[in-house]
A = this chain, B = another copy of it.
């Protein structure tokens, strides 16, 4: 990463600047609406018995959902935004190019979306990329990363083993480490999706048509016709390392749009929520939640935005069962391929009575236009039957 001393301040304006830089390299992913899911989100749950909300009066929120489809982003996830911006910033560093920075390259350890994002961004910037992956990674991911021209180096699967191999690569090549989330440049890059989402929803409501060019109808008409505020009221995004959530929060700063984080609760993967409530960042997590992109603890830099500056209004967590239920609805009703991590915000909107009760109290009958971030769509297709068939 570029030196911390050179990063732009963590403001909405810096996200706008990052957007100008990466725009030519990333997709402006579509925002889609969905009648069925918005209606479901706006219907009181009839199935609270046997859940952690048993005995409560079901909440009656009104929610119009606007899905930001980063599953349709390049490499299938939002991670390219941060990767392109981080490499741009690195190349701006005085002396980096002249010192052979491109040839020495960049390095990261990841078996997920960040690996492919960095490999792609490096290739398009003419920079060497070294990716440390556990040797147990699935062949498709290894092939994908190699396909972008990266040098894949295998390691053991614990974080200690992976970091040791990474250090070795740095010592041997002089490559610069590019972190998946814990750096201001990554946060600013990922936050650009929040800017697009705001603009796309505002335009849709102003023109009375959804982003596919069809008249807003059904539950969405209310947004165009009745509300005083013509645009998003809130955004909910997944929170793993927190790079994207904090970036989206920055993109909303000063707009009046509230930002929420969504986490899996399985085996304590809701570290950000717990830390937020306890007033102290949780630094280690060991969870095998099905939302495999969200198994990491929140990083220090994201935390400074999410908690210390209170740019995130709250965090909510859902069970793996709720995540898979939401995922199944996305496949069946939206015909969209998403990975489990991407379904966590929708699961909160549909199933978390704490969140739903808050929307009911705060928004009343007018309801909220809620941006829901579909963070990625990289799921091993072989596993889909098991993921989607396990419950009904």
Contacts and interface: CB of A to CB of B under 8 A. Distances in A.
A158 B212 CA distance: 42
Interface stretch (A166-174, A247-255, A333-341): A333-341
A376 B389 CA distance: 20
A151 to B, nearest CB: 23
A384 interface: yes
Contacts of A71: 335
A380 B177 CA distance: 43
A30 interface: yes
Interface residues of A, number: 27
Given A72-B335, A335-B337, A338-B335, A382 B377 contact: no
A332 B331 CA distance: 14
Given A214-B27, A214-B28, A335-B336, A383 B381 contact: no
Interface of A is mostly: helix
A95 interface: no
Contacts of A334: 337
Nearest to A27: B214
B381 A385 contact: yes
Contact of A337 (B28, B30, B331): B331
A328 interface: yes
Given A27-B214, A335-B377, A385-B389, 12 more contacts: A28-B214, A76-B335, A211-B212, A331-B337, A331-B381, A332-B337, A334-B337, A335-B336, A336-B337, A337-B337, A381-B389, A384-B388
Interface of A: 27-28, 30, 71-72, 76, 211-214, 328, 331-332, 334-338, 377, 381-386, 388-389
20 contacts: A27-B214, A28-B212, A28-B214, A30-B212, A71-B335, A211-B212, A211-B213, A328-B381, A331-B337, A331-B381, A332-B337, A335-B337, A335-B338, A335-B377, A337-B337, A381-B385, A382-B385, A383-B385, A384-B385, A385-B386
